[in-house]
Amino acid sequence: MATQLKNLSDFSHTTIPDASPYRFAIAVAEWNAEITGSLYNGALNKLLDHGVAADNIISVAVPGSFELTGAAELLLNKYPDLDGVICLGCIIQGDTRHFDFICDAVAQGCTNVGIKHNTPVIFGVLTTNDQQQAIDRAGGKHGNKGDEAAITAIKMAHLAATL
Ligand code: DLZ
């Protein structure tokens, strides 16, 4: 059946679906913990605010962002009824090429694991030039990307459940 979208020019006020039927996992990286802790608090509170039961949220920590993909894979193998996995990390540009390798690996890894398990794996990873840009996006002047990752997870879980 055909469907059409309305008001394509303004998605900023779209309704966030009721998330009470869903189960999520959050994987958070310990590197840059003062940033990722804010991302985590934002994501967790958004899930709770939108009706996810605390018992339906599994949280795990991994050493660095590179390990987020492996954690998502482990979580989806162990808990196949999850409706989404939210991966949170903060990769800050340094003097060497590690930044590019880690960013590419995590982005590609989230995509691959999500497709493999037919479950949304959300890329909630800050990839910034410096610490200040990260602070600005982890509860600072540009909001909290952890909140946005949680909202994305809810919307994708709803899409998968209702398509
Ligand atoms: C090694 C490393 C470096 C240099 N920088 C970061 C970073 O900015 N953010 C992050 O999340 N992790 C970093 N890591 C750790 C890697 O993600 C990973 O944990 C190690 O390479 C071990 O696999």
Each domain of the chain, given as residue ranges in start order, spans 24-162
Enter the pTM of the model. Answer: 0.96
Q: Pick the range with the lowest mean pLDDT from 37-41, 57-61, 83-87, 92-96.
A: 92-96
User: Residue 119 CB: number of other CB atoms within 10 A?
Assistant: 21
Calculate the CA dihedral of residues 91, 35, 137, 82 and round it to 10 degrees. 80
Rounded to whole angstroms, the Cα distance separating 44 from 30 reads 16
| Structural class in CATH, domain 24-162 | alpha beta
Residues labelled catalytic: 98
Q: Which residues have CB under 6 Å of ligand 1? A: 29, 31-32, 63-67, 89-92, 94, 98, 102
C-alpha 65 to ligand 1 mean position (Å): 6
Rounded to whole angstroms, the Cα distance separating 153 from 56 reads 14
C-alpha 62 to ligand 1 mean position (Å): 10
ipTM, two decimals, is 0.99
What pLDDT, on the 0 to 100 scale, is given for residue 8?
A: 73
Q: Is 57 annotated as a binding residue?
A: no
Measured in whole angstroms, the distance separating CA 110 from the mean position of its chain's CA atoms is: 10
C-alpha 61 to ligand 1 mean position (Å): 13
Which residues share a beta bridge with 140?
A: 143
What pLDDT, on the 0 to 100 scale, is given for residue 5?
A: 78
